[in-house]
Amino acid sequence: MEDKIHSTSRRSFLKGSLASVALFSIVPRHVLGKGFLAPSDQLTKGIVGVGGMGRGHIPYAGTRVVAVCDVDKRHIQLALNELAKTSADKGVKTLGDYRELIQLPEVDIVHIATPPHWHGIMAADAAKAGKDVWCEKPMTRTIGEGKRVMEAVQQNGRIFRLNTWFRFDSNFYGMNTTVKPIKKLVDSGMLGWPLKITVSRHTGFDWKFFWVGKTNLKPEPVPAELDYDMWLGPAPYKPYASHRVHNTFRGYWDYDGGGLGDMGQHYLDPVQYILGKDHTSPISVEVDAPQQHTDAVGTWRRIEYTYADGCKIILDGEGKDKDAAYIEGPLGKVYNGFRCDIPDFEKKLAAFPDPEPQNTDFVEAVKKRQKFALNEENGHRSCTIVNMGLAALRLGRSLKFDPDKQLFIDDEGANRLIDQPMRGPWSI
Amino acid sequence: MFMLASSVSFAQNTLTITTRIADKLAQLPAENGGEYNKNAAEMISWGKAGIVELTTMLTPAGTSDNEKIEFAIGGLTYYVNQAGQETARKLVSEAYAEALGKIKDRDNQAFILFQLQQIAGNEAVPAISAFLNDEYLSGRAARALGRIRTESASQALLSALPNAKNTAQLNIVQALGDAAYAPAAGAIEKLAGSGNAKLQKSVLYALGEIGAVSSQSVLTNAAKAVSYQFDNTNATSSYLQYLSRLNQNGQGAVAEKAALELINKATAANQTPIRSAGLKLYTDIKKREAVPVLVKETLRGTDSKYREAALALGQKYMMAEGALPWTAALVTAKPNVAAEIVTMLGNAKAQDALTPLTKLLSSKNSGVKLAAISAIAKIGQEKSLPALLSLLSKSNASETQAVKNALFSLKGDGLTSSIANVLPKLPAPAKSAMIDVLAARGATTYSNLIFGELNSKDAAVKNAAFAALKNTASSDNLPQLFTLLNSTSDAGQVSAIQNAIKSAISGAGSKDAQTALVMTQLASSNKKGALLPILASIGGSKALSSVVDAFKGNDTALQQDAVSALSNWSDGTAAEELYKIGQSTSNATYRDQALTGYIQAINSSSENAVQKVLRLRKAFELAQTDVQKQKVLRELVKHKTFNSLMFAGQFLDVPALRQTAAQTIMEIAKTDKHIYGPEVRALLEKCLNTLEGSESNYQKEEIRKHLSELPKDEGFVKIFNGKDLTGWKGLVGNPISRAKLSADSLAYKQKIADEKMRTGWIAKDGELVFTGKGDNLCTEKQYGDIEMYVDWKLAADGKEGDAGVYLRGTPQVQIWDTSRVKVGAQVGSGGLYNNQVHDSKPSKVADNQLGEWNTFFIRMIGDRVTVYLNGELVVENVILENFWDRKQPIFPMEQLELQAHGTVVSYRDIYVREIPRAEKFELSAEEKNEGYKVLFDGTNMFEWVGNTTDYVMEDGNLVCRPTGRGHGNLYTKEEYSDFTFRFEFLLTPGANNGLGVRAPLEGDAAYTGAFELQILDNTADIYKKLEAYQYHGSVYGMIPAKRGFLKPVGEWNYQEVTLKGTNVKVTLNGTVILDGDFKEATQNGEKIPDGKNHPGLFRPSGHLGFLGHGSVVSFRNIRIKDLSKVETVVEQAAQKGKKAKKNKKKK
């Protein structure tokens, strides 16, 4: 009860949207950091990676930027220009090594908006440094890294959120509704079971097949403003070429996995939620694709996942089935625009209970120390689907998966992609 | 002989490895899994030497192209690291190991070491170890060895450690950690505390992963030194990893002791994370036995985060006795802790906690009570409903809210009836909350309760009741709702009632019935404006005019409602009205609404892309602001046609529209490689300089790739420049009369025609307009096979509109006003109007109304024409007859013409693609002399009749592509008795066709004609059991042909057939496979071997025909010598070539 009384006396300092958050208990600042007290109760954040994506994190509401970090000095300058537009964000620290940022006592939340090959290490390190984490998708580049992030976050009692939101907010791609009524429809049983979910351009998703890499890159001199060794971090050293970094890194296996790697979690995380699979993973993945290059990511035609209960996810890269339903069950289908072949389904649906409410206010989750709706656990599971697909794609074969052990079955080669050794001294 | 052969083959093998590698590389990357596996298996069959050779072909980056070699090696690597490939894996690994010693380039060595990281076993250890002390490659080598995880691989790492320095040392330590190699612990411990933070990090990481008892002090001290906080060496994390590994390595007791020490001693405020970690470790070791400790730690924990950790673990490890230890603890717990425990039990859905937690509903502590409300709902669902509802008679605001939130997701069927039972007696705040729940559950059964509360004196209840109308009213309530609408003035309430009507009316019968219902109300209502949105939600054309009338009236408020209703019309029927409003209004808001509504209407209509592009171009004319223009351009992206791309291209130079136009162009281009030509190319190249934004690097890359993959021929070329008549000329005569003119007189007549042309045709604002006076407009250029786009428009007020597009100087693809029923124009435009034998009418009407633009896409290949009008196929592969001389086929090359037919017509966007032609077949000099006549030369099907739709021309071939299951028969126009017939044919697997002779044009030619000579893929399994006289070349059912002389399926065969009286001779690819007399073979027709009736057997003459049997067969180079006439021809030819030619023409 002490906490609550304490918070009431501090609540009068709150401004804006935070004032509407009722009855939370603020953890004393000295527990979070090293005895530092911010001038107001607004939570603070430090952003690691302020390229185009990271600069997008500056205006996320309810928090204030106090530090930015990047291995490219130009990015830092661009971030400062952006910050200069908001008078509240003065005196922001600029850093080139994220480890300095995560140790700043004035930082409450660390935003990670680097390329994915850094996500795992940074998220785990930030958790170990006592910071809450807001991490860009995809959560991690390998399944092994995801497990380690989960451990680190839970061991250190941190709040983690992944930066995709379609499982609780925003219009859900081609469906023209949030995910809530979709989940409600699935939970109602009106569609029957098992379900098949098709993710293709005809159901509202773009696989971004132009996010591919190039072969035969010519070595180029490293620009003076870029700390290339730190940019690579745990990734194997390869001679610098401008197409490897910044806007075009998504086309290389060392850092990401093309459209599936970079958009996949946006598309597949809500699927896990809709199907109620947040604590498990599919048991197999089949892939139909041209052969992949070892360095540069290419395109694919179809990837199919199957769960133990027969539910399926179809990633249709070719857009082959023009009339595909987004969700197909034995008793009904749901199409783009949340159309359903069950007559009058919306009225029938109203009689069913809503899905359990989700905790979707990150600032509140941090203050109340509650798990955020999309956290290290279900985030890791949905990223696992992405990484299963990438492994099958890269290897050019179908794979079987054990969702409990989180290992591929009878495939040492595939398991070598689950745990990929890092360039020292980096490790999770 | 044997010895010799074997030594030759050995020499060939060594010779061919290099060739085989080159051949294989050319096939990479594999298109699919099957090809991939085949390639890999083949590469493995090269053996070690072959793979070494392949690997050593890598060249330093930037010097030449490694792509294919990398595909080969990478593919091989991933292929052999799957189960069942152990032998191959070892072979490839050995080959890589050997190649490592031969390759000199560092980055290529790195590439091979990465491959070994994926597949290496013990066999590669020595080769990899050679790189362990190399600054540049030690990391690659160490990681490859660390991944092998065998004793010898790890031992190799360990033995390299003493001599390793700097980066190499760090890499080896890290890899020993990756391998969790226990014997290395001692050596690594000695490196601890070196002062080098990077090395220290790797040392602690490795020791943490190994988990040897001996490392305890090193790791404990390192973590203590940083007070169990994060530092750059990750000491704390490594320590925790170490403890967990100790437990896994069977040292649970040591780990447990360390964990308890953390729990009991790391109690400083900033040590909560490590203390929580200790608790987790302890629990991981003790599992359910840890619960008493968890309960105790929860109760004494002063730090909420520590309690959170304990409770999370508690939820995971509920004991066998279930929730009891936790419910027991509730008695002594402080209220805030009690609330946390309750929440945890709710999350755990602990059934045995339901009763004790329900009791907590009467707790005096608000936090506990709120937690209990949520928890018992989660655990008990419908069972907890009575307890929850009973709270409502006395609950405060937050309790009411908590009950309400819980009920939204409560499962069970009795929810709404239970709420309805208690609702009337509830106090106001609870009542409005429960109305919200009834609404959320769509409780139409209780709509009377909701209506009853509309007059509530309590504002909150009243508002809730109005808001609930939408979900609880049904069509039965419509009269009440209409009355309510008439008597309500509060804007919020009006909107609530409107929403309720929109929802309820869907249950009131058909759309027409719904409309009628609202129209009746409209007639008597004093609030007409409020009814318009309801009409909009129903949609359809029935109500349209009344809404339009409302717009035209003088009531400004009603006018606003009308525009708003039209722009929200739920289907496409309001499009034209919206367009008219947009055009005529001076009110900017109306115009914007009209435009938005018009675009929305296009969107929701079921028209095809071509039609939608025409409409969006109209919409663009309404757009005045940049925002509006961008909106239209963005909309165009959805409809990926040639014209939409070209239209967007007009705005690449307008600063405000540049980016949107570039995105639109790029998105359209990339989806269709058939959209190409110099203008398209120029636009895409311009996009390369235009595109901005974070995606632009990929997009530019993609455009470059797309450009490089476009077909190499020129593509669609603009033939009207929009400004003047460059490239066009006037009409002189017709192709035949022009050919007769001397160059001088043609030039003279052309000059006069050109002058006349300029009086009738005007280029203006990108349009080509015929004013109604003069002759056809002709291209200067001559065209053969083409595809073309052309937009045309007949004048809105023009009566009797008529025009057309001449192909090869010949009328015509028809354009006319479809209201001209007298002349038959109701069939629509697009037909080949002057055809007499073949279809002259389009298959459907696809014209837009007068004054609107239409889009033609015309394809002409050989003598066949296909026309799409406004995206609809109206003419499919129909022969265009030669209007100027019906005895000739259509000219192979001639000018395009736009017809002048006395009425005003406009054209725009004329693009023509010339299709490269296969070379026309010509008789050899010898055949000419012998009197052969060409029946098919690849350019036309003039000599043929019958099924001219299933037999089509493709690339100069005559291809039987049966559309149905039908027997597609194609006959020569003329009849023959004795002849020599030469032709080539290409079979597809299982193909079946036949050559009918002396056949009439009706019936089954194999029987009604003399006979059928079989054309068949003899090798197909399905034909295994045929009779001898059914295989290729046989006189079907009578005389068998020799087998074994067909070329493999997919290759062309050459066949000659001679029929003289009753003698048949067939020569296939130079071998006579049949030479017989069918009169003899059938004993004068008395005894036919297949026992069937062949009534046509002795017909003296008839047509030759290809008798299709539902499969794809191609023919080419078809010619015939008529043996009944041949003597005359030869004689005449011998006398005078000129006369012979004339004679031939007469045929």
What is the band of B1130 on the pLDDT scale with cuts at 50, 70, 90? Answer: very low
Average pLDDT over residues B770-786: 93
Is some CB atom of chain B closer than 8 A to the CB atom of A229? Answer: no
Tell me how many residue pairs between chain A and chain B have CB atoms under 8 A apart.
228
- Cα-flanking dihedrals φ and ψ of residue B859, to 5°? -125, 130
pLDDT in tens, B871-888: 999 999 999 999 999 988
What is the band of B1003 on the pLDDT scale with cuts at 50, 70, 90? Answer: confident
Those residues whose C-beta lies under 8 Å from the C-beta of residue B519, and which sit 6 or more positions away, are B542, B543, B546
Residues from chain B that touch A412, judged by Cβ atoms under 8 A, are 81, 83
What is the band of B1140 on the pLDDT scale with cuts at 50, 70, 90? Answer: very low
Nearest CA to B239 out of B282, B209, B194 is that of B209
The minimum CA-CA distance between B381 and chain A, rounded to whole Å, is 11
pLDDT in tens, A124-181: 999 999 999 999 999 999 999 999 999 999 989 899 999 999 999 878 888 889 999 9
A239–B32 C-beta distance less than 8 A: no
Q: Residue B230 is nearest to which of A51, A130, A157, comparing CB atoms?
A: A130
Interface of A with B in 202-221 (CB under 8 A): 210-212, 214-219
Interface of A with B in 40-59 (CB under 8 A): 51-53
Is some CB atom of chain B closer than 8 A to the CB atom of A20? Answer: no
A423–B304 C-beta distance less than 8 A: no
Peptide bond into B29 cis (omega under 30): yes
The edge-to-edge listing of strands for the beta sheet with A407-408 is A339-340, A333-335, A327-328, A196-200, A312-316, A302-306, A284-288, A399-402, A407-408
**Three-state secondary-structure class, residue B525:** coil
Residues from chain B that touch A354, judged by Cβ atoms under 8 A, are 408-409, 440
Structural contact between residues A143 and A388, judged by C-beta atoms closer than 8 angstroms: yes
How many CB atoms neighbour CB B292 within 10 A? 13
Q: Residue A216 is nearest to which of B67, B308, B398, comparing CB atoms?
A: B67
Is some CB atom of chain A closer than 8 A to the CB atom of B867? Answer: no
State yes or no: pLDDT of B626 exceeds 70.
yes
Among the residue ranges A102-106, B528-532, B797-801, the one predicted with the least confidence is: B797-801
Mean pLDDT for all residues in chain A: 89
Is some CB atom of chain B closer than 8 A to the CB atom of A147? Answer: no
State yes or no: pLDDT of B1002 exceeds 90.
no
B694–A243 C-beta distance less than 8 A: no
pLDDT in tens, B120-160: 999 999 999 999 999 999 999 999 999 999 999 999 999 99
What is the band of B919 on the pLDDT scale with cuts at 50, 70, 90? Answer: confident
Q: Residue B694 is nearest to which of A154, A215, A247, comparing CB atoms?
A: A247
pLDDT in tens, B680-711: 999 999 999 999 877 788 888 889 889 988 99
Residues from chain A that touch B83, judged by Cβ atoms under 8 A, are 410-412
Structural contact between residues B454 and B465, judged by C-beta atoms closer than 8 angstroms: yes
pLDDT in tens, B35-45: 999 999 999 99
State yes or no: pLDDT of A20 exceeds 80.
no
Chain A residue whose CA is closest to B168 = A424
The minimum CA-CA distance between B665 and chain A, rounded to whole Å, is 15
pLDDT in tens, B1028-1081: 999 999 999 999 999 999 998 889 999 999 999 999 999 999 999 999 999 999
The minimum CA-CA distance between A356 and chain B, rounded to whole Å, is 6
Structure tokens, B506: 């869907």
Q: Return d(Cα B186, Cα B192) in angstroms, integer.
A: 10
Return the amino acid letter for B270: N
Structural contact between residues A362 and A62, judged by C-beta atoms closer than 8 angstroms: yes
Model pLDDT, residue B9: 38
- Cα-flanking dihedrals φ and ψ of residue B167, to 5°? -60, -40
pLDDT in tens, A185-236: 999 999 999 999 999 999 989 998 889 999 989 999 999 999 999 999 999 9
Q: Residue B82 is nearest to which of A289, A356, A413, comparing CB atoms?
A: A413
Model pLDDT, residue B1006: 86
The minimum CA-CA distance between A253 and chain B, rounded to whole Å, is 13
Percent of chain B with pLDDT over 90: 80
Is some CB atom of chain B closer than 8 A to the CB atom of A424? Answer: yes
The minimum CA-CA distance between A90 and chain B, rounded to whole Å, is 26
pLDDT in tens, B168-195: 999 999 999 999 999 999 999 999 988 8
Q: Return d(Cα B464, Cα B432) in angstroms, integer.
A: 6
State yes or no: pLDDT of B568 exceeds 70.
yes
Structural contact between residues B73 and B39, judged by C-beta atoms closer than 8 angstroms: no
pLDDT in tens, A275-329: 999 999 999 999 999 999 999 999 999 999 999 999 999 999 998 888 999 999 9
Strand-pair category, A196-200 with A284-288? unpaired
B272–A356 C-beta distance less than 8 A: no
Q: Return d(Cα B399, Cα A123) in angstroms, integer.
A: 38
Interface predicted TM-score (ipTM) of this complex, two decimals: 0.90
Average pLDDT over residues B521-526: 89
Q: Return d(Cα B622, Cα B567) in angstroms, integer.
A: 14
Residues from chain A that touch B117, judged by Cβ atoms under 8 A, are 416, 421
The minimum CA-CA distance between A32 and chain B, rounded to whole Å, is 7
A251–B107 C-beta distance less than 8 A: no
Interface of B with A in 77-116 (CB under 8 A): 77-83, 107, 110-111, 114-115
Best A128, A375, A428 member to test B by mutation, with max B CBs in 10 Å, is: A128
Report in angstroms the alpha-carbon separations of A217 from A220, B60, B405, B1002. Answer: 9, 11, 57, 67
Mean pLDDT for all residues in chain B: 92
Structural contact between residues A260 and A303, judged by C-beta atoms closer than 8 angstroms: yes
Is some CB atom of chain A closer than 8 A to the CB atom of B29? Answer: yes
In total, chain A counts a number of residues equal to 428
Q: Which of A59-63, A331-335, B27-31, B303-307 has the highest mean pLDDT?
A: A331-335
The minimum CA-CA distance between A362 and chain B, rounded to whole Å, is 17
Higher pLDDT pick, A28 / A295? A295
Model pLDDT, residue A12: 33
Structural contact between residues B542 and B512, judged by C-beta atoms closer than 8 angstroms: yes
Is some CB atom of chain A closer than 8 A to the CB atom of B312? Answer: yes
Is some CB atom of chain B closer than 8 A to the CB atom of A34? Answer: yes
- pTM score > 0.90 for this model? no
Chain A residue whose CA is closest to B31 = A290
A1–B335 C-beta distance less than 8 A: yes
pLDDT in tens, B225-274: 999 999 999 999 999 999 999 999 999 999 999 999 999 999 998 899 99
Q: Return d(Cα A152, Cα A140) in angstroms, integer.
A: 13
Percent of chain B with pLDDT over 70: 96
pLDDT in tens, B828-852: 999 999 999 999 999 999 999 999 9
B471–A211 C-beta distance less than 8 A: no
Is some CB atom of chain A closer than 8 A to the CB atom of B16? Answer: no
Interface of B with A in 385-414 (CB under 8 A): 398, 405, 408-412
Among the residue ranges A83-92, B223-232, B920-929, the one predicted with the least confidence is: A83-92
What is the band of B1025 on the pLDDT scale with cuts at 50, 70, 90? Answer: confident
Place of tokens 């946006």: A266
Nearest CA to B951 out of B877, B886, B888, B1015 is that of B877
The edge-to-edge listing of strands for the beta sheet with A109-112 is A93-95, A63-69, A43-48, A109-112, A132-136, A160-163
Average pLDDT over residues B427-444: 96
